């Protein structure tokens, strides 16, 4: 695995760290005010704080939560951005965060499990892990920071763990976290599937003011990138088309 720390990733890392520092100081001087406004709390969101569907991703429960999430962002995000470019990367990441926020909110409203707030970038990062496993299925990731696994195996294992966590105790904090993680994986797959079908997640209008068209293909397949990879063997990563 090659670490690619682009300008975008540097800005994202700085933003997450700065927000966490503000979060910690606000808790010290203002109590739980910051979390009440920006963590995804269903009872608050339903009463108009809809920005929580996105803002929750900038908050973290503790330092280790932040550190592990930022490690995933650095190890996985750089290579994906290098292939997609900044715009598509941000569209994908934002889509995953919003999708996770909506799933968590709807789950809480329908089943009334609890009013536990959701915070952390894990949902968007699990989406990146799914994309990484699709783009680079043979690349290695360290499971539990010790055991090297192919990325496709890594994602299958963490999916199974999260599913078992949810099934064993859906009312616990771990079960609610599993909902966010599984929906993040699902969001990553859904985004790529929609793009493979020709449904562009580009909401920018053309210069003529017309809405972007949606082209649908009849099938989904993996197509190898014709550009040479770093070894020069002409077998670049496969992408969905």
**Tens digit of pLDDT for each residue in 120-132?**
998 899 999 999 9
CB 58 within 8 A of CB 65: no
Per-residue pLDDT reduced to its tens digit, 130-177: 999 999 888 877 766 667 788 888 899 888 988 887 777 766 666 678
What residue ranges define each of the domains in the chain, with the CATH number in brackets? 7-200+214-240 (1.20.1540.10)
What is the pTM (predicted TM-score) of this model? 0.77
DSSP per residue, 15-39: HHHHHHHHHHHHHHHHTTHHHHHHS
E strand map for 61-137:
none
How far is the C-alpha of 101 from the C-alpha of 212, rounded, in Å? 26
Compute CA distances 85 → 60, 78, 89, whole Å. Answer: 27, 10, 6
For residue 159 the two structure tokens come to 């999916």
Please measure the distance between the N-terminal and C-terminal CA atoms of the chain and give it in whole angstroms: 24
Do you know the residue count of the chain? 241
């Amino acid at each position: 695995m090659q670490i690619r720390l682009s300008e975008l990733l540097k800005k994202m890392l700085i933003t997450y760290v700065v927000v966490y520092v503000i979060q910690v100081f606000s808790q010290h001087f203002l109590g739980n005010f910051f979390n009440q406004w920006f963590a995804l709390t269903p009872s608050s969101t339903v009463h108009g704080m809809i920005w929580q569907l996105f803002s929750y991703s900038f908050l973290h429960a503790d330092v280790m939560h932040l550190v592990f999430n930022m490690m995933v962002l650095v190890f996985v995000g750089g290579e994906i951005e290098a292939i997609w470019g900044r715009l598509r990367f941000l569209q994908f990441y934002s889509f995953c965060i919003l999708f996770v926020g909506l799933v968590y909110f709807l789950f809480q409203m329908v089943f009334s499990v609890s009013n536990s707030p959701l915070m952390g970038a894990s949902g968007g990062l699990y989406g990146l892990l799914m994309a990484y496993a699709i783009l680079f299925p043979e690349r290695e990731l360290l499971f539990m920071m010790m055991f090297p696994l192919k990325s496709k195996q890594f994602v299958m294992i963490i999916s199974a763990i999260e599913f078992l966590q949810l099934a064993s105790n859906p009312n616990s904090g771990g079960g609610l976290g599993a909902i966010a993680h599984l929906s993040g994986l699902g969001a990553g797959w859904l985004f790529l599937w929609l793009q493979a079908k020709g449904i562009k997640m580009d909401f920018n209008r053309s210069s003529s003011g017309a809405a972007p068209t949606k082209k649908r293909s009849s099938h989904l397949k993996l197509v190898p990138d014709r550009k040479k990879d770093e070894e020069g063997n002409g077998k670049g990563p496969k992408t969905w088309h």
